[in-house]
Structure 1
Amino acid sequence: MHGLALTSPAELAEEATLAALLRCCVREVAGPRGLVWPAPPYLLLRVGGALLRARTRGGAALRFEGRPERLEAGAWHPLTADELVRLAEADLGGDRDHNGEFAGQVAASREAVAEILRARAAAVPPADPWLASEQALVYGHPFHPSPKARGGAGWLRYAPEAHARFPLRLLGVREDVLAEEGDAGALDLLGVAPAGYRLLPAHPWQLDLLRPRLGGELVDLGPGPAVVPTSSVRTVYAPAAGACLKFSLDVRITNCVRKNAWYELAGAVELTSRLTPIFDEISGKFPGTRWLPEPGYRSARLGPRLLEGLGVIVRDGPWTACSPGVTPILAGALAAGTGFGPAGSARPDAVLAGPAGPPRLGALGRDPVAWWAAYVSAVAPPVLELYFEHGVILEPHLQNVLVGLDDSGLPVEAVFRDLEGTKLVTGRHDLTGLAPQVAQALSYDAERGWARVVYCLLVNHLMEIAGTVAGGDETLLPHLWKAAREIFVRQAGELGWPLPLSDLLAGSPLPAKANLSVRWARAADRSAGYVPIANPLA
């Protein structure tokens, strides 16, 4: 297939699936065993006893071009995703520790990508450039064996990558069984509830899964206003409310069943209250720093299943957070231009394009090092400041950060979101008075929290954006990381050179999340471990 144009959704999905699984094998299977060798223009590795090779794109070790191959009887033969699954299974456990679900999850993800590509070709992207960027993650996480695996049926009608748009279902909750904390008033802009009831929007997919008994305490008010799903699938933007709504979905999306546990509902409101003065202080020091508070939630107090299953968290919309003239763009959409999709399928300008065209990225083309320095300056220093000075652990991965671009396309603001992944360093905050489950869910010990910050900020985020900026020019990468190092060094000096940051700048390996291993183990995402990878800041 090398050198041939890929036009079929099935072919594109196969190549993307194969490349993602191969990257996982390099990072988690062959790499730790010393079974990866550069042989330009190829990367060689041994998986399941077989010798494989993949042509690298632009010299980038984990960006592949064309079909990887397997050496058999002295000749190279094209590799398929199904074959690589079997080879990976042999190394991951074989007959001793077999995961009967794994192959099916990889195949389901591949089919989902093909379905998304077919639907996307016939759909119209949102005119809003921010929403277009939210719906740009066609191939998903580049280091996940099944990035688009989704449970349940009928998911395509709700898929952001397929440019979905759908009406909410509106329920009325009798006031005596209403569950609410904080300010969830934005939900009342979505419709009108009858006397004695409060409005509760529901995701139609979740309502089909839950099938609650309606009538009396919980009544069906019919269809509501249209919403647009964002990159996480279960969080939607509701133009009628000017807010994002984070619903529960009782389906597995990549690693997790995406349900709002009761302590996460309460925790979002608690964190919003605690972080408001902290972010005010941070934005005073770093004027480009923004965040999206989650001021309230609403649900029905009708037993644990419905309390969690119907719980919806209100989150501020990004346009209200950004300054006038600044366009918020999902960081993950920019990273989709790193070449992790099939050849030629993902460029920054293409993935961000809406009916009005893509946001202007001229500043990136004119001076990529200056653009990168502006990007790192917007994103990294506030994350480090929050951790070391305030004991706050952000989760600044590619789906949790929006980058504010000015009219020239230069990054000038960073918008942090999703309080589910935000934690407080144990012992740095007084959590007296909180329910034990809420306090436990809000806390990480310092070492675990630092690993999470480094993984999300550097491995998941900045390394992928660096790939976007460099394109296929590997000679540019040292200049990018030199500029990034200067920013980190300056921030380390401001913070008094804390030991974890000093070790990072001295070249300590970076922790890369082991998505393949956690899926193989059928473990909860929170139990995922890390594998060490090279530190480009060294």
Structure 2
Amino acid sequence: MHRPSTAEAEAADELAVVRPSLVPRYTDALPGARAAVLTRLWRGLAHDPLPWIVRRETRRDGLGLRLADGRWLYGPRADPYATAAYVTAVRLGEVVHDDPARLMTELAVPHSEVFAAELAHSVASLALSRAGRWNHPRQWPERDWEWERRVVDGHPFHPNCRSRPGFSVAEQLAYGPEHGPVVELGLLPVPEAECLVSGVWPGWLREAGRVVVPVHPWQAAHVLKRTGERRPAAHPLRAHPLMAHPLMALRTLALPDGPHVKTALSARLTSSVRDISLGSVAASAALSDFGEAVAARTDGLLHTTRTLGAVAAGSPDLAAVLRESPEVYAAPGERVVPVAALATTELPHSPAWSVRFARLALTVGLRLLELGVALEAHGQNLLVVLSPDGDPVRLVYRDLADLRIGPARLARHGVPLPEELPARMVTDDERTLRRKLFGSLVAGALAGTAGSGPALRAALEGAVRDLPRTPDLTALLDEPLPAKALTLMRLSPRTPGDQWAKLPNPLRYESL
């Protein structure tokens, strides 16, 4: 019988107090959550360039990993593009492990103790998400935020797919989109002279020489240690509090009939602390205009959501961005669906549909890459516009802050480089540009939608036949597929920036 981890037991104890009716469903969800996280971890162990794995040996019954200390770790063959939880246990020496956190503890490699705690939290949070998921109707949602509620399991390939350290069970139920809450944002007024403002900050978030900054309630309680000021009963922001629906990113929320609000959230979710840098606020207006200009070169196949205004009150911990809802790019009868939510529909199960979607995504991504713009086109940033019949007709891209932009490529096409861009976004290194696009779009969005290596291969084979044979496409067809080495990155906390794995090229899947 499995002994619950400390994180699992603590979550159960909290749940018994705040939502006792969910305890049986949470308990029932734990084995599946462990398998889901273990599957993601096994992918990283099998494919990330981890320095303490010295040999990988494919066997008839699976895969063996030889550790630097001489031990062997055995498990099934690892499909790097699989999203189903197919790894229920692995064997370290003679001991079988079905708990990813305990496995990482027993591996006893550098920084494994902290990572093991994150894995335990990921399991507990995933079981909670599955237990308390919002019961969506069978018909397709009308609103964009309703689609985002459907993404229960988080990142399809990250072992920390649901890790939300610092969030209590009550806070996860109150703020996690999969639980279907409506969140009241805090409103903190700051003297305008102390604020960095980019774009147009609206009048309804201003008062008497002060800028009113929307604040996530978790941030207000745990980081800022303050809540919004009390206002007179007749004040419009008290009479009509700012209520919003949380999206997949957790820190970004959709106002019922208005823009999306991206708030600062200084918590580590999956890999990164979710604040809003001062540089991204300063560049937001120029970057928004730039995104709109390059999207116009895709013959209507891509729209980027415009940043309406951004503000930072002297710190990344107190900042906010107002951004268009992707819904504005849908014609009557169309739906705008985050790519991560496609797996909750029947669409990816049609091979013909998968080919059409892959062709649309690659056409747009490669065209922009040729121009010098590499999208971070993972399943959260990239949305697809579906016709009333469900056909993929256009794409919408949001959150431009993680683009990589090549000045030399831009210059060849006569596209000016905005002066305000942060230096980290600008590079002419072709490997960096290709990694950004291929790692997010192909190894991320398309793989997550396909759900397996063979399905991804079939979608790509049909999609690339008619695409222009550019050097970028040749690299995609012939070279290993880059993907962020998510497990390595969590075990290398002192190494800044992204680290990369080379996955078997899905178009040569027989080599796996």
TM-score calculated relative to the size of structure 2 = 0.80
Partner of 2:14: none
Matched, 1:485 2:464: yes
Kept after mapping to 1: 8 A contact 2:351/2:458:
yes
Matched, 1:163 2:144: no
Higher mean displacement: 478-487 or 406-415: 478-487
Kept after mapping to 2: 8 A contact 1:56/1:65:
no
Take 2:82 and 2:265, find their aligned partners in 1: how far apart are those partners? 37
Identity %: 25
Partner of 1:416: 397
Letter in 2 for 1:522: P
Task: Label 1:62 to 1:422 Cα distance change in 2 as closer, same or farther (>3 A).
Answer: closer
Take 1:26 and 1:81, find their aligned partners in 2: how far apart are those partners? 14
Q: How does 1:308-457 map to 2 (within 5 A)?
A: 308-334=316-342, 337=343, 348-349=344-345, 361=346, 368-389=350-371, 391-427=372-408, 428=410, 434=420, 438-447=421-430, 448-457=432-441
Partner of 2:450: 466
Q: How does 1:39-188 map to 2 (within 5 A)?
A: 39=60, 43-46=62-65, 48=67, 49-54=71-76, 63-65=84-86, 67-70=88-91, 77=96, 79-87=98-106, 89-90=107-108, 94=109, 97-120=110-133, 128=142, 130-154=144-168, 155-156=171-172, 157-185=174-202, 188=203
Q: How does 1:208-223 map to 2 (within 5 A)?
A: 208=221, 209-211=223-225, 222=238
Letter in 1 for 2:462: A
What secondary structure does 1:528 align onto? coil
Deviation at residue 194 of structure 1 after TM alignment: 4.3
Q: Deviations over 1:495-515 (max 9, x none)?
A: xx3x3432332x111112111
Partner of 1:354: none
Partner of 2:269: 253
Deviation at residue 528 of structure 1 after TM alignment: 2.1
Take 1:135 and 1:215, find their aligned partners in 2: how far apart are those partners? 31
Deviation at residue 122 of structure 1 after TM alignment: 7.7
Higher mean displacement: 263-272 or 133-142: 133-142
Q: Deviations over 1:65-96 (max 9, x none)?
A: 362242766xx856332342135x34xxx3xx
Matched, 1:502 2:474: yes
Take 1:485 and 1:433, find their aligned partners in 2: how far apart are those partners? 35
User: Aligned to 1:225, which of 228, 237, 242?
Assistant: 242
Partner of 1:341: none
Task: Label 1:29 to 1:162 Cα distance change in 2 as closer, same or farther (>3 A).
Answer: farther
Kept after mapping to 2: 8 A contact 1:171/1:221:
no
Task: Label 1:162 to 1:211 Cα distance change in 2 as closer, same or farther (>3 A).
Answer: same
Kept after mapping to 1: 8 A contact 2:34/2:98:
no
Partner of 2:505: 535
User: Aligned to 2:252, which of 222, 229, 235?
Assistant: 235
Letter in 1 for 2:34: E
Matched, 1:297 2:310: yes
Kept after mapping to 2: 8 A contact 1:124/1:163:
no
Letter in 1 for 2:463: A
Partner of 1:279: 295
Matched, 1:35 2:61: no
What secondary structure does 1:265 align onto? helix
Take 2:26 and 2:43, find their aligned partners in 1: how far apart are those partners? 20
Higher mean displacement: 508-517 or 478-487: 478-487
Letter in 2 for 1:425: G
Take 1:364 and 1:460, find their aligned partners in 2: how far apart are those partners? 15
Task: Label 1:142 to 1:527 Cα distance change in 2 as closer, same or farther (>3 A).
Answer: same
Task: Label 1:293 to 1:194 Cα distance change in 2 as closer, same or farther (>3 A).
Answer: closer
Partner of 2:12: none
Take 1:537 and 1:290, find their aligned partners in 2: how far apart are those partners? 29
Take 1:522 and 1:234, find their aligned partners in 2: how far apart are those partners? 23
Take 1:30 and 1:298, find their aligned partners in 2: how far apart are those partners? 40
Higher mean displacement: 406-415 or 511-520: 406-415
Question: What runs of 5+ residues in structure 1 fail to find an aligned partner?
Answer: 338-347, 350-360
Matched, 1:267 2:283: yes
Please tell me the root mean square deviation across aligned C-alpha atoms, in Å. 3.5
Deviation at residue 54 of structure 1 after TM alignment: 3.5
Take 1:6 and 1:212, find their aligned partners in 2: how far apart are those partners? 33
What secondary structure does 2:265 align onto? coil
Kept after mapping to 1: 8 A contact 2:197/2:281:
no
Q: Deviations over 1:116-170 (max 9, x none)?
A: 2233268999954532331233222233232222232344121122222211122
Matched, 1:16 2:36: yes
Take 1:278 and 1:478, find their aligned partners in 2: how far apart are those partners? 29
Deviation at residue 327 of structure 1 after TM alignment: 0.5
Deviation at residue 237 of structure 1 after TM alignment: 0.6
Deviation at residue 279 of structure 1 after TM alignment: 1.6
Take 1:244 and 1:121, find their aligned partners in 2: how far apart are those partners? 21
Kept after mapping to 1: 8 A contact 2:159/2:487:
yes
What secondary structure does 2:48 align onto? helix
What secondary structure does 2:275 align onto? coil
Deviation at residue 443 of structure 1 after TM alignment: 1.3
